Amino acid sequence: MSECYLEMKNICKSFAEVQVLNHINFNLKPGEVHVLLGENGAGKSTLIKIMSGAYTKASGEIFIEDRLVEINKPKDAFQYGIGVIYQEFNLNPYMSIYENIFLGKELTKRFGLIDKRKAIEETESICKKVGLTVSPKTLVKHLSVAQMQMVEIAKALSMNVKVLVLDEPTATLTDTEIAKLFEIIRELKDDGVGIVYISHRMKELTEIGDRCTVLRDGSYIGTVELKNVTCDELIHMMVGRNVDFEKRAVSYRRPERALKVEGIYYKGLLKDVSFELYKGEVLGVAGLVGSGRTELAKCIIGEYRKDAGRIFINNKEEKIKCPSDAISKRIVYLSEDRKNEGLILKHEIKSNTTLTALGKIQKNGLINNDRERSCVNNLISQFGIKTNSMNTYVKNLSGGNQQKVVIAKWVFCGADVYIIDEPTRGIDVGARQEIYNIMEELLKEGASIIMISSDLVEVLKMSDRVMVMCNGEKAAVLDNSINLTQENILEYAIGGKC
């Protein structure tokens, strides 16, 4: 008997003429956390969708406990105890927790009537295992992101899973919530559940993982014991090259002031926030979740109407009442939620990149197709967007390439100040470096960047200065000198020096 519960051998998959998986091998033992690692577009999501029955393989074999099986639809995966929790949760926000957990497998009593009481009781028991203490009758729309994730895990446990796939489970969680998630994962391991874990956060891989399989460009690179490799070695396996995590060597900051924000107040969430941004500068904005970073950005661009405060651009006070006012003043905002606020997923790369500046591709009031194609091809080349065609739908791009489309869109529009909220969230280390290179090119050309990030390594790498926020206030503005550390920033962020 094999020691593995699940084995996938020589898995291949293509979309149109593009091969996204090329003879991939993967196996999972009961009671282990097996990390699936690779750059965006490496094939991780496609592999787990084949595992879950969302996609069918073109060729290859899948074994469950040494028995050759076919997984052609999600029902097949459920039958073999395979549950997947994707980055975008599969929950109905307008139904209660217990209704979501038993959706499609409702508990019934005589005459086929739904046994609501039993469903609530079983939900309470399952939720207790995952540390979810809210009432089973609570509507999902009233839950936090971390609580929704617990519901997804509870839903999987209700099916007696033997394999649980977690796709970027910590991307939107706080450190406390991550610690709780890891506690649950360890309990599942003790119960013999095999965990497939996908994450780009290198530090947590060695904390929670046992083995790691690396994919690159749809090919199998290798499987290693995490205790025997360094993060640098894993990164090299992922990208085939070394990635630099050191601070930017050159600063492009100039003495001229690009933006001044004075005395911003907003609904009790922001209290007297003031700062200055210089030309060619990256001002990093750090702080815990709920510290007011995104609210500040949206007040600056006019999406949120501030209660008080003034904004100066090039030393002149400007009234910014809506995002179009900000755009006209050459201030743009790249949202942390690129899928809902930054892109039109059902449209092509072409229309997404030119949407903000249609005037540049018009002739006599009509879109000039030749000019549009030329501009978009130049943007694809300039920003290294990996695609076969400008007509590719943005929803089919990897996260890193979607982020490049967002940046390309605003660069095409033309801006002096870029407010970039979580520029590399959910993006692998290779694509991160490409995003950083794009940011550096913008600085060279004289633009200024406000970079909001929860990744303190990123903050220290890219920032000239760091503004730390705490409970809606500016706690400190720190020069990113050689002595600045993550601990210094966190001390202000948690209120230790507020």
- What's the rounded mean pLDDT across residues 93-99? 93
Look up residue 253 and give its two tokens: 């900051």
Measure the CA–CA gap between 99 and 401, rounded to whole angstroms: 37
Banded model confidence at residue 487, pLDDT cuts 50, 70, 90: confident
Query: Per-residue pLDDT tens for 425-448?
Result: 777 777 788 889 889 999 999 999
As a three-state string, the secondary structure of the chain is CCCCCEEEEEEEEEECCEEEEEEEEEEECCCCEEEEECCCCCCHHHHHHHHHCCCCCCEEEEEECCEEECCCCHHHHHHCCEEEECCCCCCCCCCEHHHHHCCCCCCECHHHCECHHHHHHHHHHHHHHCCCCCCCCCEHHHCCHHHHHHHHHHHHHCCCCCEEEEECCCCCCCHHHHHHHHHHHHHHHHCCCEEEEECCCHHHHHHHCCEEEEEECCEEEEEEEHHHCCHHHHHHHHHCCCCCCCCCCCCCCCCCEEEEEEEEEECCCEEEEEEEEECCCEEEEEECCCCCHHHHHHHHCCCCCCCEEEEEECCEEECCCCHHHHHHCCEEEECCCHHHHHCCCCCEHHHHHHHHHHHHHEECCEECHHHHHHHHHHHHHHCCCCCCCCCCEHHHCCHHHHHHHHHHHHHHHCCCEEEEECCCCCCCHHHHHHHHHHHHHHHHCCCEEEEECCCHHHHHHHCCEEEEEECCEEEEEEECCCCCCHHHHHHHHCCCCC
More confident residue, 401 or 417: 417
Q: For 416, phi and psi rounded to 5 degrees? A: -105, -30
Which of these, 196, 191, 166, 192, lies nearest to 181 by C-alpha position?
Answer: 166
Q: Determine the Cα–Cα distance for residues 168 and 206; give it in Å rounded to an integer.
A: 15
CA torsion, points 485, 487, 492, 493, in degrees to nearest 10? Answer: 110
Q: What is the mean pLDDT of the chain?
A: 88
Report which of 404, 425, 424, 36 is spatially closest to residue 220, judged by C-alpha positions: 36
Q: What's the pLDDT band for 497 if we cut at 50, 70, 90?
A: low
DSSP-assigned beta bridge partners for residue 69: 62
Mean pLDDT of 49-59: 93
Q: Tens digits of per-residue pLDDT, 350-370?
A: 999 998 888 888 888 888 888
pLDDT at residue 247, rounded to an integer: 81
How far does CA 25 lie from the centroid of its chain? 26
Q: What is the pLDDT of residue 12?
A: 94
Q: Which of these ranges, 238-242, 296-300, 403-407, has the smallest mean pLDDT? A: 238-242
- The predicted pLDDT at position 304 comes to 94
Please report which confidence band the pLDDT of residue 173 belongs to, taking 50, 70 and 90 as the band edges: confident
User: Nearest-CA neighbor of 446 among 419, 417, 420, 466?
Assistant: 417
Check residue 38 and give its pLDDT. 83
Note the pLDDT tens digit of each residue in 256-271. Answer: 999 999 999 999 899 9
